[in-house]
């Protein structure tokens, strides 16, 4: 999907922000609506989803948000991203994620990591380009999706016999505010650092969506030797 943005800060249109949020919400609705019923999954399938999710999130979310912080030019956007990073580090969210995976008997193996390797690499390389608008929108999509994904992840873990739900409880709440903040940051960044007409606004979103689909459906690519 490609969206052409206006190229001058003076011509920024708030209706465009609404259209972008509607598109992102529709993508999230489609993803959540397509999730397989946990009751129809085997123990191995449930474990795999949790393990691949942990393999991606534990070691990458702070990196992704830091890359986004480095990418933005808006002084108003930076505190929003810093608040998110501060919370991640202060409350040791990667440790929460690890406890969650261990309690669900889903600590990632090398096979779990390799299953998401190529899609994860694409997301890392994309964020490494430090495109402010694209990066902020990618993270807004992610925070919005994860907030809605948490009940599903908790249901998978409970079916695995886990009672360790701090990670899903915390992110089911805090990511609502994070998503709203990131859309505010997007508006600020678009106003001073608009995307070129030839660039795809949703490029990072689509790469991240492919990674998340791989987490759920285990589309294993051939890993280069």
pTM for this prediction? 0.88
Please state, in angstroms and rounded to a whole number, the distance separating the CA atoms of residues 206 and 1. Answer: 8
Dihedral of the CA atoms 87, 132, 206, 223 (nearest 10)? Answer: -80
Q: How big is the chain, counted in residues? A: 225
Domains of the chain: 11-217 (1.20.910.10)
Q: In the structure encoding, which two tokens stand for residue 48, read together?
A: 């795999």
Q: What is the 3-state secondary structure (H, E, C) of the chain?
A: CCCCCCCCHHHCCHHHHHHHHHHHHHHHHHHHHCCCCHHHCCHHHHHHHHHHHHHHHHHHHHHHHHHHHHHCCCCCHHHHHHHHHHHHHHCCHHHHHHHHHHHCCCCCCHHHHHHCHHHHHHHHHHHCCCCHHHHHHHHHHHHHHHHHHHHHHHHHHHHCCCCCCHHHHHHHHHHHHHHHHHHHHHHHHHHHCCCCCCCCCCHHHHHHHHHHHHHHHCCCCCCCC
Please state, in angstroms and rounded to a whole number, the distance separating the CA atoms of residues 98 and 106. Answer: 9
pLDDT digits (tens, 9 = 90+) for 119-170: 999 999 999 999 999 999 999 999 999 999 999 999 999 999 999 999 999 9
1's CB contacts (< 8 A; 6+ apart) are 23, 200, 201, 202, 206
Across the range 89-108, mean pLDDT stands at 97
Please state, in angstroms and rounded to a whole number, the distance separating the CA atoms of residues 223 and 103. Answer: 29
Dihedral of the CA atoms 175, 119, 96, 155 (nearest 10)? Answer: 70
Per-residue pLDDT at 123: 98
pLDDT digits (tens, 9 = 90+) for 5-63: 333 334 445 666 789 999 999 999 999 999 999 999 999 999 999 999 999 999 999 99
Asked whether the beta carbons of 141 and 183 are under 8 A apart, the reply is no
pLDDT digits (tens, 9 = 90+) for 59-73: 999 999 999 999 999
């Amino acid at each position: 999907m490609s969206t052409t943005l206006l190229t001058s800060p003076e011509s920024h249109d708030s209706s465009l922000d609404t259209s972008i949020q509607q598109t992102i919400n529709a993508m999230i609705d489609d993803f959540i609506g397509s999730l397989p019923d946990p009751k129809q999954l085997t123990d191995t399938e449930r474990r795999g989803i949790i393990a691949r999710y942990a393999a991606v999130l534990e070691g990458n979310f702070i990196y992704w948000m830091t890359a986004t912080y480095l990418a933005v030019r808006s002084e108003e956007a930076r505190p929003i991203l810093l608040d998110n990073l501060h919370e991640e580090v202060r409350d040791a969210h990667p440790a929460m994620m690890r406890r969650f995976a261990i309690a669900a008997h889903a600590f990632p193996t090398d096979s779990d990591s390799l299953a998401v390797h190529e899609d994860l690499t694409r997301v890392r390389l994309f964020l490494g380009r430090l495109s402010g608008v694209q990066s902020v929108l990618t993270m807004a999509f992610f925070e919005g999706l994860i907030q809605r994904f948490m009940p599903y992840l908790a249901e998978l873990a409970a079916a695995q016999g886990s009672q360790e739900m701090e990670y899903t409880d915390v992110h089911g709440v805090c990511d609502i505010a994070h998503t709203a903040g990131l859309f505010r940051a997007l508006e600020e960044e678009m106003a001073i650092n608009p995307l070129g007409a030839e660039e795809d606004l949703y490029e990072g979103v689509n790469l991240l969506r492919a990674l998340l689909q791989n987490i759920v459906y285990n589309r294993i690519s051939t890993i280069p030797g």
